[in-house]
Amino acid sequence: MTGWTVIWVLAGVAGVSATTWVSTPKGPNQVLIRTSVVSALTCMYLMWCIVYLAQLHPLIKPKRSDVRYLD
Amino acid sequence: MSDEGLFRSATMSLIQLYIPSETAHATISELGELGNVQFKDLNPDVTPFQRSFASDIRRVDEMDRRIRFLYAQMDKEKVPVRSLESALPFVNFGGLDARRGPQMMDELFQKLKEHEERLGQMNGSYETLQKRLQELEEAKHVLRETAVFFDQAEGRQEQVRGSIDDANAPLLDDVESRGFNSQRGDESGYGTFDLEFVAGTIERTRMATFERILWRVLRGNLYMNYAEIEEPFDDPTREEPVSKNVFIIFAHGAELLAKIRKISESMGGTLYPIDSNADRREESLREVLSRIEDLNNVLFSTSATRRTELVKVAESLSAWADVVRKEKLIYSTMNQFMYDSRRKTLVAEGWCPTNEIGQIQLALRRAAENAGTNAPPVLQELRTHKDPPTFQRTNKYTAALQNVGDSYGIAKYKEVNPGLFNFILLPFLFAVMFGDIFHAFLMTLAASSMCLFEKKLAKIDNDIFSMFFYGRYMMLLMGLFSMFTGLMYNDVASKSMHLFHSGWQWPRAEEGTVVEAIQLARTYPIGIDPGWHGADNALVFTNSLKMKMSVILGVCHMTLGVCLNLPNFIHFGKRWKIWAEFVPQMLFLQSLFGYLVFAIIYKWSTDWYETDASGNVFRNNPPNLLNMLIYMFLKPGDVDPKEQLYPGQATVQTFLLITAFVCVPWMLIATPYIEWREHQKIKGQGYRAIGTADGPGEDEDENGEEGSGANGHHGNGGAGGHSGSDEMEEEEHEFEMGEVIIHQVIHTIEFCLNCISNTASYLRLWALSLAHAQLSEVLWSMTISGAFGMTGVVGTLATVFAFALWFVLSIVILCCMEGLSSLLHSVRLVWVEFGSKFYQAGGYAFEPLKF
């Protein structure tokens, strides 16, 4: 997986958001449902993308001194 | 104009109602059931005592007092009061046939009065009886205790007499005294004791004083004896039971005895007539005992009757209380109306949501039918330039989160409502700080069970519980988001999950040495790689990640805040502010902090150790972003090639810096200039005051005002006209250039400084999530991990105990305490960092009349 994953997922999230935006039925809660779904998706995408990007090209490597081998 | 859900508050109308006075009561009770009209006080200058329905209110208050008295009685007797829902069928106020309404109220008034009087009488007689009983009890004790004194005294007497008989007894007296003795001796052993005595009871605390006073007053010419009564007495006038002493004082002479009596009475003692004769004492004791028994019977039956009375009242008390509460609301609402005595109508004004006027019309017609007239109250919509109240239509899901926003400030009418965005953003920000799958799971469990059993749980009446219950949907969202962020942090109560293939592999090395993992050609797809879990330098990595994440999320959040200015500017007809404020603010924010976000992401997505075909690293070392930002200000246009992030960096940074600096004077000058120009334009048209600048709209306003003003003149001396002129004055504010400039300077400085300090403030996301993770790790290693090494019975017991400790502390510290602190910080972020970007919060809430 490369950095392009971020873009693909973004496209996916945007697609889902747009679908929800269009398909939300009219009514007193239309605005609420649209906003909630879109903002929840955005937040979750941002979070995932930040964690993913931070590990894409790591600058430091994990070190530990307590490694044991089972065999 | 259609309503836009929670985005803006509901459209409101000012309505005027002409209510014939005979249907007024029915109308208000219908509108109260409907609950969507907020009435204005049309006689603000009239004191509560001078208002039209003051006497009705007094009567309702009296009923209210009686109901409170009855409730207090219930409380005292511990009679359970039937709850309102189940009590309603017992009272036939349900339908409240309006024609019979007043009559019903009269009946209820009478009923309450009777009940109060009856209970009052019963309480009175109960108290007298109790007092009598107490006196008798005391008498009983006095009789018993004094018997002991007399017995002792008799013994002593025998000795004394013996010595007299034997030795120095005068001969003459002997016969006399013997005769005397034989005369009285069979009656009592005290014949020769012609000392007289006083017996009674006194409070134990006063005993010492009493004794001393007597000693001084009688100069020691007394013999006093006392005994403590073991069981304390209930004094109805005092909180605590009183313990008393029985005393008996022997003294000589009527004068001294009178003195003793006086003193003991003044000290609060009670005296009881006691006969020195043992048989008579016995007799009176028997009498006292039988009277006590009688009294006990009477008392029991009195309290039983009182209880039956109370139980009967308890059936319908809460329904009566409800009726009285409504009645009081109705009359105090009617007091806000203007009374037109000539036309016998009440004039009411109030706000209501525009799209509910139809419902209100229906309710008015219903009220007229109920009242038995065919002239329904007349509803008329007024035009006004006053600010309507803010009414956000919430439902059970959004109410709690909307309330969080409202407690910071109520939005101006039709201002963009931050509650809509907070609905998701606040739980999300919370989750960033609370990210842990296990703790979030517990929270979700609690919240979802409250949501599932909401009907049952809604009845629980406990302050703390109902607070959590009110926010159950908010809690559910917080829990769900926290589970997501927990997945991202790969943190389950300080352990990690290995769901995908890790991007790291541990090489073979000697045990005990420091090993560095080898990077594989893959990235852990969702969340933090479990390879980091337990690594010595895990904190270095997670801190860097979480810090950068906080900045990115913060800048996004603030950008949204600035963007929300747009709908406000467009709606309030200040499109020029888009160019004068929104654009420079956005440019300033993005050229400094948007650029920082860009740099963070660019640095992440670049492979700094990438090699070219010949295997050489062709990039420089990864630059330090903090230094980059500092040198962007200190040495604009100059980037050290060793610290370069990307080619052409110097030019871009210089450009951004210039943009940011240009934005500051732009923000400073544009708004005051445009406002000044508009003012000049108005002046140029020849108008003087701003109040008349609105043009055609104003005429209609005046018509509306005239309507209410005219009514005012018919009724209470022009109150309506007065409020009209008030409105005009409010509109007239002078345009002062100085004020506008100062306001703008403050606004600009605030915005620029806030951009910096608020970005720093978002770092709390990092700090709190770090604290949460570390705390849960410490908890794990301090409790349960210590028990895992043990074996045998001790090991089993230790594990069970350690698990219990770990689980309880997880809930108390990590879920409750940490949860509350994360909530507090996320509330602050949405109030201050997000809200200050666009939220004016200058409105007032819509508070309709509602039963």
Which tens digit of pLDDT belongs to each residue from B823-850? 999 999 999 999 999 998 888 999 998 8
Residue A28 lies in a domain: yes
Average pLDDT on B750-776 reads 95
Which of the residue ranges A39-53, B236-250, B718-732 would you say has the lowest mean pLDDT?
A: B718-732
pLDDT reported for residue B422: 93
Residue type, B105: M
pLDDT reported for residue B744: 93
Quick one: which H or E segment has residue B251?
Answer: strand B244-251
Residue A17 lies in a domain: yes
- B206 pLDDT band, cuts 50/70/90, is confident
Asked if the Cβ–Cβ distance from A48 to B609 is below 8 Å, we say no
Distance CA B613, CA B625 (A): 29
Residue A71 lies in a domain: no
Asked if the Cβ–Cβ distance from B7 to A35 is below 8 Å, we say yes
Average pLDDT on B268-288 reads 83
Average pLDDT on B781-790 reads 87
Higher pLDDT, B281 or B763: B763
Backbone angles phi, psi at B463, to 5 degrees: -55, -50
- B99 pLDDT band, cuts 50/70/90, is low
What residues form DSSP beta bridges with B349?
B16
Tell me how close the Cα of B535 comes to any Cα of chain A, in angstroms.
5
pLDDT reported for residue B769: 95
Partner A contacted by B525 (CB < 8 A): yes
Does the pLDDT at position B512 exceed 80? no
Please state, for a pLDDT cut of 90, what percent of chain B lies above it: 35
Distance CA B832, CA B103 (A): 56
Burial of B686 per CB tally in 10 Å (0-12, 13-18, 19+): exposed
- B158 pLDDT band, cuts 50/70/90, is low
User: Closest Cα partner for B245 from B197, B198, B203?
Assistant: B203
Give the residue from chain A lying closest to B484, CA to CA: A44
Asked if the Cβ–Cβ distance from A48 to B504 is below 8 Å, we say no
Which of the residue ranges A2-6, B332-336, B441-445 would you say has the lowest mean pLDDT?
A: A2-6
Asked if the Cβ–Cβ distance from A69 to B508 is below 8 Å, we say yes
Partner B contacted by A7 (CB < 8 A): no
User: Closest Cα partner for B405 from B846, B845, B843, B835?
Assistant: B835
- B263 pLDDT band, cuts 50/70/90, is confident
Average pLDDT on A34-58 reads 94
Partner B contacted by A66 (CB < 8 A): yes
Higher pLDDT, B150 or B702: B150
Please state, for a pLDDT cut of 70, what percent of chain B lies above it: 87
Q: How many domains does chain A have?
A: 1
In chain A, what residues touch B473 (CB-CB under 8 Å)?
none
- B52 pLDDT band, cuts 50/70/90, is confident
- B199, two tokens: 């017996």
Out of A30, A47, A56, closest to residue B604 by CB:
A56
In chain B, what residues touch A28 (CB-CB under 8 Å)?
3, 5, 393
Contact B256, B246 (CB under 8 A): no
Average pLDDT on B40-51 reads 86
- Domain, as residue range, for A40: 4-54
Interface size between A and B, measured as CB pairs under 8 A: 139
User: Closest Cα partner for B414 from B13, B15, B11, B839?
Assistant: B11
Residue A59 lies in a domain: no
Higher pLDDT, B729 or B454: B454
User: Domain extents for chain B?
Assistant: 144-165+180-297, 399-496+533-682+737-837
Average pLDDT on B256-270 reads 85
pLDDT reported for residue B217: 83
Tell me how close the Cα of A2 comes to any Cα of chain B, in angstroms.
8
Mean predicted lDDT score pLDDT of chain B: 83
Contact B431, B482 (CB under 8 A): yes
Partner A contacted by B485 (CB < 8 A): yes
pLDDT reported for residue A63: 92
Highest mean pLDDT out of B228-237, B639-648, B826-835, B836-845: B826-835
Partner A contacted by B549 (CB < 8 A): yes
Residue A9 lies in a domain: yes
Contact A35, B508 (CB under 8 A): no
Burial of B613 per CB tally in 10 Å (0-12, 13-18, 19+): exposed
Partner B contacted by A64 (CB < 8 A): yes
User: Closest Cα partner for B552 from B759, B374, B701?
Assistant: B759
Higher pLDDT, B329 or B691: B329
Asked if the Cβ–Cβ distance from B3 to A28 is below 8 Å, we say yes
pLDDT reported for residue B236: 66
Average pLDDT on B102-115 reads 85
Out of A28, A55, A68, closest to residue B503 by CB:
A55
pLDDT reported for residue B673: 92
Tell me how close the Cα of A9 comes to any Cα of chain B, in angstroms.
11
Distance CA B760, CA B757 (A): 5
Partner A contacted by B196 (CB < 8 A): no
pLDDT reported for residue B50: 84
Does the pLDDT at position B378 exceed 90? no
Residues B404-447: tens digit of each pLDDT: 888 999 999 989 999 999 999 999 999 999 999 999 999 999 99
Give the residue from chain A lying closest to B514, CA to CA: A65
Partner B contacted by A5 (CB < 8 A): yes
Partner B contacted by A1 (CB < 8 A): yes
Distance CA B459, CA B469 (A): 11
pLDDT reported for residue B92: 54
- A69 pLDDT band, cuts 50/70/90, is confident
Give the residue from chain A lying closest to B523, CA to CA: A56
Asked if the Cβ–Cβ distance from B531 to A32 is below 8 Å, we say no
- B161 pLDDT band, cuts 50/70/90, is low
For domain B144-165+180-297, the question of CATH label 3.30.70.2750 is answered with yes
Residues B483-502: tens digit of each pLDDT: 999 999 999 999 999 999 99
Asked if the Cβ–Cβ distance from B428 to A51 is below 8 Å, we say no
Torsion angle of alpha carbons B95, B100, B106, B109, nearest 10°? 0
Average pLDDT on B251-277 reads 82
Residue A33 lies in a domain: yes
Query: Which of A20, A45, A47 to probe by mutation at the B interface, max B CB count within 10 Å?
Result: A47
Partner A contacted by B609 (CB < 8 A): yes
Tell me how close the Cα of A37 comes to any Cα of chain B, in angstroms.
9
Tell me how close the Cα of B459 comes to any Cα of chain A, in angstroms.
27
Provide the greatest CA pair distance for chain B: 152
Q: How far is CA B579 from CA B246, B572, B656, B669, in A?
A: 95, 15, 19, 12
ipTM of this predicted structure: 0.96
Distance CA B655, CA B774 (A): 42
Partner B contacted by A44 (CB < 8 A): yes
Please state, for a pLDDT cut of 90, what percent of chain A lies above it: 66
Does the pLDDT at position B178 exceed 60? no
Give the residue from chain A lying closest to B525, CA to CA: A52
- B88 pLDDT band, cuts 50/70/90, is low
Distance CA B623, CA B606 (A): 11
What residues form DSSP beta bridges with B225?
B248
Residue A50 lies in a domain: yes
